[in-house]
Amino acid sequence: MQDSNTSVQQDSNISVKWLIYAFLIGLSTNACFSILTISQVTFSLFPFFTLFFAISHFYRLYIHEANNEGSIRPAWAAFFIGLFSYSAFTSALYPELGSNFISITIALILAIWLMYKLMFGDKHYSA
């Protein structure tokens, strides 16, 4: 019984590096898109550099980690948190672009879900 509990705990470990790189990829992806499509946002090369380095490090981390199935869904959540948080930030800076209510709401819902996953993990109960 003790061995099955420890294996469940080991399977539910979420890599924080995955979350950080996924958040940076989402943030810099939306920054690059905003630079290219919104005229009020000034041009800078830093989001493109950040996107390149975050993707390359994330790919290297993906290749070298053996057991990474537990971090995939939280990494997607972190990616979308970065995506929607930059969208909300841009809408707050430039109110003429529109409301940021939907972006903030989605980012908060995903952040709450991610915090729940980090605190409690996946609980698999078997009878």
pLDDT of residue 124: 55
Per-residue pLDDT of the chain in tens (127 residues, 90 and over written 9): 444 444 334 445 788 999 999 999 999 999 999 999 999 999 999 999 999 999 999 999 989 887 777 788 999 999 999 999 999 999 999 999 889 999 999 999 999 999 999 898 766 544 4
Question: What's the pLDDT at 72?
Answer: 87
**Spatial CB neighbours of 106, under 8 Å, sequence gap ≥ 6:** 80, 84
Phi and psi (nearest 5°) for 24? -65, -40
Number of H helices, E strands in the chain: 5, 0
